[in-house]
Structure 1
C-alpha cells in the first residue's frame, strides 16, 4: 500500500479523527494524490468503521465516510457482490473486517482475484453499507426526536448513496418498510433531504420500471410529489411526469387531490402541452384520460355561470377554465397520431355543452353590467387602484372607472374566447359537427361574438378561425353566412382608445380602418 493510503488507514484504525478530517478529501476521493484509485482496503476500512455500531465515531466522520463511499461508487469502483466475504460474515464478524483481512493477507491481485475470482481493482461490495443506510433511514422515520444538522446530513447522504446504487441495486432497497419511508421523505421538511428522496424515487421509477412500486404506491407517490414539484425540484417534476404517462393514473388520483393541488396539476399539464407540444411532451394522454377530462368539464362547466355577479369560491371555476385550456390545446394538435383529437371531436355532448354554455354567457352578458358583459374600454383591465393615462395624457384613478375586483383575476376572463376556440377546433374538417353547430343556431352566435372585448383577448381571431372551419367544404353553412344582411359599422370604445375607427367605404361590402382625429376623440370621450 502507498504511503498516502497507509496514512489514511492508520488514522482510521487509531481513531485519530482530527488527523483523518485533515488528510481525507471527499471531493477528490477515491483518487489519491497521484490520481490513482485508492487501495480497496481503504474502502473496506471505511465501510467497516461506518457500519459497526460504535458510539465513538463522530458524526462528522460518518459524514466524510459517506461522501467518500458515495463518490467511490460513481467515479471509482462498480458495485458487485462478494459471495466469499458474505458467507464468512456469518461467523459473527463484520463483513468489511473480513474483507479487509482478505485484502491484507497478500497483494490484492493474488489474494482476491486469483483465489476468489473477485475483480477487486474495479469493483467493490457495497451491500453492507447499503443495508446500514436503509436501516438508518428507517430508524429516523420511526424515531420522532429532532434531528441535529449533522444527523440530517447523514440522512441526506444515506439516501444519496442509495440513489447512486440504483443501476446495480442491492436487495435491501426492495424492503417494503424502506419503500414506504422514501414515499414519506419526499415531503420531508428539510429541503436537502427532500431533494435526495425525490432523486431516489425518480431513479427507482425509471430504472426499476414496473418491478418496484405497486399501482397503489404509485398513486400515493403521485399525490405526494405535488408538494416538491411546487418547490421546483427537477427530479420531482420528472418523476411526476413519468407517473402521469400511465393511461389511468390521472383518473385514479384526481378525486383524492386537494383543490389547490388539483389546480396546480392541471396547470402543469397545460403548460407542458403548450410549451413542448403533444409529441414531445413527457406527459402522454390516453383516450381514457382525455375522456375523463372532457367529462369533468361537462359536469362542472355550468359553475362558471354562478360567477355572473360575484366571485364565489374561485377554485372550482378556475378548474373549469384550466380544463378548457387543456381541451383547446388537445383539439389543436396537428401530429399524425390524431386518435385523441378524434376522441374529442366525436364527443357530441362536449360540443353541445360548449354551444349552449356560450349561448348562456352571451345572453347573460347582454342583460346588464356583470362579469360577462363585454368590456369596451381597455383601461378597465388595469389593476385596481392603479393610476392610468388616457390618450390626452391625463391621469385618472382606476377605481372610479371600473367595478370592484380585477377583471383579469375573475374566472370569466378569457373563458368565452376559450369556448369559441374549442368549438372551432371541434368542427375542423368534421362534417357532423359542422351540421350540429348550424342546427343549434351556433353560426349566428359565433358571428355575434365577433366583437372586440377586453375581457376576452383574441376573441375576434378565434371567432374568425372558427367560422373558417365551420364553412370549410360545407355549402349549407356557407349559405347561412351568405344570407346575412349588413346593417352598419359598430362603434367600439376599444378601437377608439387605440386611436382608430372603422369606416364604411360606401361599396356596401368593404370596411376600412382609419385613424381617429384627436379632436374627434376628445369629443367622443367628453360624451
Structure 2
C-alpha cells in the first residue's frame, strides 16, 4: 500500500512539475493560478515536500523571474494593464516557496542555489517603489514574499547570510517602513531571524544606523509588534556600540523609549546576567552626569517646548535605569566607583531640594494624597518620585562602600537626606528611601554615626527617622553616641 502511495506521489510530482513548466509557454490566465495553488497545497504535506524534485523548483523559479520582468514592464508602460493577475500569480509563487521551506533544509538550500533570494528581494523592492494601477494588490505578494524569506532563513546560516548581504540596510529599512502592518511585522521577523552579533555590530556604523532607529521607532509607535521589542531587547541592548550610536542619533522622545526597554529588561530578567554589557551602564551613567541639569528647567516653567520636556524626561528615565542597575545587581556595582555619578546625584538632590523649598513649584513637597493615583496634579507630574529616586541611588552607591559613605558626608549630603524623611505625596516612599540611604551611610562608619548624633544634639535632625532606622542617641561622658536599639527594649 505504501509503495502505491509513493508511486502516486511521484506521478503527482511529475504532473505538477510539467504543469508549472507549461506556464512558461503560454500567456498568463486564471488556470495558471490554479496550477500554482495546487502546488502550494501539495507542499503543505511533509511527504510531498521531502520528495519534490528540484526540476519543479527550477520551473517555479523561471515563472517567478518572468513575472518579475512582466510586472516591471507593466509599471513602465501604463497601456499594458493593471498587472492584477501577475500580482496574484506572484503571491502564489511566494506561498509555494514559503511552504517548501518548512522544516526542510534540503529545499532551503535548493531554493537558495537556484537564485530565489535575489529575485524575491528584487520583487519586494519593486513593490515598495511601484506605480502600478493596482497598488492595493501589492500587499498580498509583499506579505507572502517576506514570509518566504523568514521561512528560508530559519535554521539555515547560509540563507541568513545571503538575505542579509542582499537586503542590508536599505531594503530591510524599506520593508520595515511598508504601508502595511502585517508586512512590517513579517519584515521584523526576518530581521530577528538573520541577526547575530557581527550583524548587530554592522548596524552600529553611522551609515547603517537608520535601520536600528527604525526598529526603535516601531517599538515606540507600535508596541504590539512583538518582533521589534524582541530585536531591541535580545540583540540591540547587548551591544554597547549600537546603544551608544543609537542614543547619539535619537531625539529625546526616542531615548525615553530606549531607556524604558532597558528598564523593563533589567526588571524582567530572573538571573543576574541580563545581557546588558557593563559598558552600556558606564555610558548611561556618563549621560546622566552630562545632562541631568535639564530636569531643573521643569521648576521654572521654561520647559515650554515638547523637546525641552522630553530632555527632562530622559534624565528621569536615566535615573530610573541607574537605580535598577545598582539595586544589588553585582555586574553593575562597579558604578559605585564611577568618578562622577555619586557627586552628580548628591549635588542634583541639593539643587532640587533647595528649589522646592524656595517657592511653590513642581519640586515642592506636598500632602495632597487624595489626588495621588487619580486625576490630580500630583499623579500627572513628570517628577513624581524623582527626589526619592535620587536618594535611592545615593543609598545604592553607598552600600558597603566606605569611600562613598565618606564622600556623601564631605558633600554635606547626610543632613540633606535626613531633611527628606517626611512624607511627601509628590515622592511616595521618600521617607523609606531616606531611611534606607541613612542606614547604608551609617553602617560600619563611626564618623557618619557621630555626625548624625551631633545633628540630633543640635536639634537639626529628625530623631523619629533614626528610631525607624533602629538607632537611638545616648549621652555618655558628656558626648552623644549613636547606638543600635536592642531588640528586647
TM-score, length of structure 2 as denominator length: 0.76
CA 1:318–1:58: 2 relative to 1, 3 Å: same
Give distance in 1, aligned partners of 2:203 and 2:146: 17
Computed over aligned residues only, the root mean square deviation of the Cα atoms, in angstroms, reads: 3.6
Task: Give the corresponding residue for 1:138.
Answer: 125
Indicate yes or no: 2:23 matched with 1:52.
Answer: no
Q: Deviation of residue 35 (structure 1)?
A: 9.0
Task: Give the corresponding residue for 1:517.
Answer: none
Q: Deviation of residue 372 (structure 1)?
A: 1.8
Task: Give the corresponding residue for 1:185.
Answer: 175
CA 1:488–1:320: 2 relative to 1, 3 Å: closer
CA 1:293–1:5: 2 relative to 1, 3 Å: same
The one of 344, 350, 360 equivalent to 2:341 is 350
Stretches of structure 1 that go unaligned for 5 or more consecutive residues are: 82-122, 385-397, 399-405, 493-506, 512-527
- Contact 2:108–2:159 (CA under 8 A) maintained in structure 1: no
Task: Give the corresponding residue for 2:90.
Answer: 62
Give distance in 2, aligned partners of 1:259 and 1:124: 44
Deviations along 1:222-242, whole A, 9 cap, x unmatched? 212112223132222222231
Task: Give the corresponding residue for 2:228.
Answer: 236
Stretches of structure 2 that go unaligned for 5 or more consecutive residues are: 1-6, 71-82, 465-473, 476-482
CA 1:34–1:71: 2 relative to 1, 3 Å: closer
Indicate yes or no: 2:238 matched with 1:258.
Answer: no
Q: What does 1:296-445 correspond to in 2, within 5 Å?
A: 296-310=287-301, 312=304, 313-335=308-330, 337=331, 340-342=332-334, 344-381=335-372, 383-384=374-375, 406-445=377-416
The one of 108, 111, 114 equivalent to 1:127 is 114
Task: Give the corresponding residue for 2:267.
Answer: 274
Worse-superposed segment, 210-219 or 322-331: 210-219
Worse-superposed segment, 407-416 or 52-61: 52-61
Give distance in 1, aligned partners of 2:420 and 2:167: 59
- Contact 1:50–1:65 (CA under 8 A) maintained in structure 2: yes
Task: Give the corresponding residue for 1:521.
Answer: none
CA 1:433–1:214: 2 relative to 1, 3 Å: closer
CA 1:147–1:20: 2 relative to 1, 3 Å: closer
- Contact 2:16–2:39 (CA under 8 A) maintained in structure 1: no
Deviations along 1:8-62, whole A, 9 cap, x unmatched? 3465426674485386273562428989744544444333322234759643232
- Contact 1:26–1:67 (CA under 8 A) maintained in structure 2: yes
Give distance in 2, aligned partners of 1:476 and 1:211: 49
Q: Deviation of residue 126 (structure 1)?
A: 4.9
CA 1:217–1:234: 2 relative to 1, 3 Å: farther
* Count of residue correspondences: 429
